[in-house]
Amino acid sequence: MDPVPVIGGTGALGFGLAARWARAGVPVVIGSRDAGRAQEAADRIEGEARGLENAEAARQGPIVFLTVPFRNQSENLTNLKEVLEPGQLLVDATVPLAAAVSGKATRMLGVPQGSAAQQAQEMAPDGVTVVSALHTVSAPVLNDLDAELDEDVLVCGDKRDDKRRVADVIAKIDGLRPVNAGLLETSRLVEGLTPLLISVNSRHKVHAGIKLTGLPEQLW
């Protein structure tokens, strides 16, 4: 299987995903601004993991995951502009929490393009397609490798086949069920689930996830 680069892979979400993939036998490449910190993180992962500077990491596989805070999304995309190549998929997990501008984590910013994912698409080089996913998976739960996952991942993108390819990678993690949630613009609604879950979490002292009911067995 192709290696999976995780840009911002030293952060809680990216590292948790990488650790889960590596455990499932998927080779991962942790990207970080600092190659040393990336390698340090990779060393803590059981399985096939390398650590590289973000730009270098992004070259290592056809489906690149971007798991950085919204505050840094634009900067990261600028840095990847000369790196990503036509045909690569960029999976954006960014959520425009108002916390990015010292507001509340239970509120969402309005993004001029409609959503963080659409901002990513606008900034991505020609021929690189953005799919959005993984907004609702709790980083602490991912990082607790003993915790069993049992939840859905809503996947947005303009082409079904792109989403199916991303879904295949996500489904390598036990207990995550990828669901086709619609066009990339639908990411605006999906990104809103994160501040909503944060609101629920603070009230119930949990790390909630989301599941859709009534779906058929065969989703892709």
- Exactly one of 64, 141, 142, 170 binds a second copy (CB under 8 A); that residue is 141
Which residues in 5-24 contact a second copy (CB under 8 A)?
A: none
Q: Are 175 and 21 in contact (CB under 8 A)?
A: no
Region binding a second copy by CB under 8 A among candidate stretches 19-27, 67-75, 92-100, 194-202: 194-202
Q: Does 199 bind a second copy (CB under 8 A)?
A: yes
Region binding a second copy by CB under 8 A among candidate stretches 15-23, 54-62, 75-83, 201-209: 201-209
For the bound state, the minimum distance from the C-beta of residue 68 to a second copy, rounded and expressed in Å, comes to 22
- Exactly one of 70, 96, 138, 173 binds a second copy (CB under 8 A); that residue is 138
Q: Does 83 bind a second copy (CB under 8 A)?
A: no
72 Cα distance to chain centroid? 14
Q: Does 96 bind a second copy (CB under 8 A)?
A: no
Long-range contacts of 106-115 (CB under 8 A, 24+ apart): 106/195, 106/196, 106/198, 106/199, 106/202, 107/195, 108/191, 108/192, 108/194, 108/195, 109/70, 111/188, 114/185, 114/187, 114/188, 115/184, 115/185, 115/187, 115/188, 115/191
Strands 176-182 and 151-156: parallel
User: Which parts of this chain interact with a second copy (CB under 8 A)?
Assistant: 106-108, 138, 141, 150-151, 154, 179-183, 185-186, 188-190, 192-193, 195-197, 199-200, 203-216, 219
